Chains A and B, each alone.
Chain A
Amino acid sequence: MSLPDEKTQVKQLEFVTLVAGGQSFCIEITQIREIRRWTPVTILPHSPAHVLGVINLRGAVIPIIDLAAKLGFERITPTERHVIIITAIEDRIVGLLVESVSEILGVKSDMVRETPRCPEDASTRAILGVIAVGDDMIKVINLTSLMPSSEPVAA
């Protein structure tokens, strides 16, 4: 398996693993801006259940999404010990509330496998692939599918 042309195709990837709704997920580290402790949010009127509200991140207004609720699990009741992962994708910044953040996982890109076929629901739709780590299976989250969709307006 050490053919030179294969080696160039395999990239080293890093993921941050986290727990939401009791299950393990991970997000590619390049999409993460920072990780911060839960702070109370400003509630938005008429927002869907998974949108908790907005927080002030150094002068910017950032929406916070309950990742567990978004994936179809029970809503997280946020406490001091919960964590917000600030993610950036396509110029948009969104915070994800998760139960905990575990570690940074370095894997080769060929270790990310396709999602096994299974009945579709909110959580499987948001998964790009899976990584097997020891006995555990960690799911890679597709951040784009989580973003509240609306194109940024050119100011």
Chain B
Amino acid sequence: MAHDPSILDTFFEECEDLIVALTEGLVDMREGRADDETVNAVFRAVHSIKGAAGAFALDDLVGFAHKFETVLDEVRSHRLEIEERLLRTLQRAGDILANLVDDARDQTPANRELVDPVLAELQSFLGSEQDSPAEDFVFEAMTLDFSGSSDAPTTYELQFTPGREFYTCGHDPLLLITALQEIGPIEVTVDTTKLPNTFTDFHWDDGYLKWTVKVSGPATDLPMREVFQFVDDLCDLKIMTLDDTGAQIDPTDQAIDHIIEALQEPSITVPVPAMEAAQKEESADRPIKKVATTLRVDPERVDRLINAVGELIINQSVISQRLQEADLPNSAELFSDLDDYKLLAREIQEGVMAIRAQPVKPLFQRMLRIAREAADAVAKDIAIITEGESTEVDKTVVERLADPLTHMIRNAIDHGIETPEARIATGKPRQGTLRLSASQRSGSIVIEIADDGAGLNRPRIRELAIKKGLIPDDAALSDQEIDHLLFAPGFSTAAEVTNLSGRGVGMDVVKTAITALGGRIAINTVPERGTTFSITLPLTLAVMDGMIINVSGQTMVVPIASILETIRPSQADLSKIGLKGELLRIRGEYVPIIDLADKLGHQTDGRPMTERVLLLIQTESIAQCALAVDDIFDQRQVVVKSMQSNYGEIVGVSGATILGDGKIALIIDPDAIASDTGTLTHVPPKTDGGRSYVAA
């Protein structure tokens, strides 16, 4: 069967929502917060996935969902008692169902090794009475059912009154009736008594009609219920069995045709001429009704908007620069107007960015699944906790975080948390804890993965790094520097490869992915208490707050996020170390000074440090360092432009922006500047593949 791909896309989008609902319900059940409604909600979610998947002939999904649904039905009708083993199975079944949806979307074959044991477990709850292998592919089984039972025809009477919601969701009674017609011969009557007498009372989207459909043939009411499964809660549906003799209303074969004609007649169902008036009336007289809570928009449209807003912000800085050059009196009203313009531009920018923002919830739920699978695979008892699921992050960030997070979670479960025996031996609770949290902290998003395992084994990391030639034997490294060796390319330790985390990607890939998103990653480990990885990400990718600086005549931008403070040093604050190195003393600490001009290969004018400005920055590799620049001009929002497509990557420069005068200013990557203590290596423009890792 050929399907419109957009319909399939919609199906997968809906599946995502359904799986969120499903997962939530299962969590509630597990934590004993569940009532009958929760079980029903879970059942409905599984049922909806099954129904829609059936329409797309996704057999694996349908088969599994059916079994899952059958067990849930038993739970729903209190034939199965809710106990620990059942809950665990249901949770795993939820995970598998989500996997199967993913597989169906990616068109990859389902992983039978994972699916079958869960399927068997679900079966074990059903006992023998329903035990038939055909149950797996129940859609075929059902079709057989109807035809097989046609020798004893029963007549059902369906009464349904579509409500207002029914119509606003775009359903059409005609389609339902036609679907019923496929089940067996039908008779249709419509009750129009509720129709208003005057047009002014008529609301085009309200439901006035009550339908009675008699269907003869099917042995059970199931096929009819399936017809109505999508509109179940949108209309009032009653299904009754009639005696064979019970048929009374207009038994001509043409009944359906009349009805169809009637439906197509605009004056009855779709009062086209009245529509506009009705709509107007609605907007004027009635409070606006909440119909759709979300709006699906093509991401490309949003991107276009974001680009336009970026240009608007550049344009705004052009105008403000022009005005400043125009030498207007300070009191000119133009300046306050300009301030308003700035505020508005910023507001629009934030609003547009908010469109792209998505809660991390789906991402976290996916991670939960991965974490549970990982815990099962290594047979560790781990409680997985998520916090701050409603924190919103840019869509691109959410998408690109999935891989690094997966890797880090697998690492934490595989290497971080000890085996239950080892935990008991060290006096810890048997169950390990993995905490995944997201929060917003002043302009950035912080995502933390914390385990309560043994902490990083620093001597071992050091030993491995020496063995792999990453550091010299006698390197004197601080604890923090040792921790950061984890991110060094080529550190991924062969000795530790298990089939869980040894997938050929090292933590350096994680770091590269985070850096590509403009983020930073930090490790905080306490021996025997656990390790926390914190990922700090910018709220948006396209715009950032930057400090505009001057370095040997070149205007550049340093991200505000990494600047702790700016200092104009006095001679007493400075001290020399070695031949060239200089240190800044600040609050009793000595921090190294990096001359930015020197670092970038520009000519320095030999100005003494006391005539320059130092930017105290915080980076991952070095706790703190001071960047020496010539001047600071301003602090403003800049639009980040990529240089990679036309030129390539420059180490120490994360991108470029366009200033008010139309000139380009490079955006400094403080982390790269600080991490490399020698001169910078640049990716030469004449080599290939130098940046292939960026795309990873």
Contact = CB atoms under 8 A, between A and B. Distances in A.
A148 B658 contact: no
Contacts of A149: 648, 685-688
Interface size class of B (residues with CB under 8 A): 35 or more
B126 to A, nearest CB: 48
B691 A150 contact: yes
Interface in A81-123: 91-94
Interface centre among A40, A55, A149 (most CB of B within 10 A): A149
A45 B680 contact: yes
Interface stretch (B111-119, B193-201, B407-415, B638-646): B638-646
B169 interface: no
A70 to B, nearest CB: 11
Contacts of A43: 554, 602
Interface string A141-155: 000000011111111
B452 interface: no
A46 B678 CA distance: 13
Nearest to B664: A42
B682 to A, nearest CB: 4
Contacts of A41: 664
A44 B599 CA distance: 12
A94 B686 CA distance: 15
Interface size class of A (residues with CB under 8 A): 20 to 34
Interface in B676-696: 680, 682-688, 690-691, 694-695
A10 interface: no
Nearest to B688: A149
A54 interface: yes
B685 A48 contact: yes
Contacts of A148: 647-648, 685-686
A56 B662 contact: yes
A152 B684 CA distance: 15
B646 A60 contact: yes
A4 interface: no
Nearest to B599: A45
Contact of A153 (B314, B645, B683): B645
B647 A45 contact: no
B645 A56 contact: no
Grouping DSSP codes into helix (H, G, I), strand (E, B) and loop, the B interface class, with mixed when no group exceeds half, is loop
B663 interface: yes
A44 B644 contact: no
B649 interface: yes
B311 interface: yes
A138 interface: no
Nearest to A154: B695
B652 interface: yes
A61 B656 contact: yes
Interface centre among B602, B647, B658, B663 (most CB of A within 10 A): B647
B321 to A, nearest CB: 14
A143 to B, nearest CB: 14
A154 B696 CA distance: 11
A48 B664 contact: no
B641 A61 contact: yes
Given A92-B645, A148-B648, A44 B691 contact: no
B640 to A, nearest CB: 11
Contact of B690 (A46, A55, A61, A150): A150
B650 A62 contact: no
23 contacts: A40-B663, A42-B656, A42-B665, A44-B647, A45-B599, A45-B601, A46-B601, A54-B647, A55-B664, A56-B662, A59-B314, A59-B658, A61-B643, A61-B647, A62-B646, A63-B647, A148-B647, A149-B686, A150-B647, A150-B648, A150-B685, A150-B688, A150-B691
Interface of B: 311, 314, 554-555, 599-602, 641-653, 656, 658, 662-666, 680, 682-688, 690-691, 694-695
Given A45-B653, A45-B666, A151-B688, 7 more contacts: A44-B647, A46-B650, A54-B647, A92-B645, A148-B647, A150-B683, A155-B645
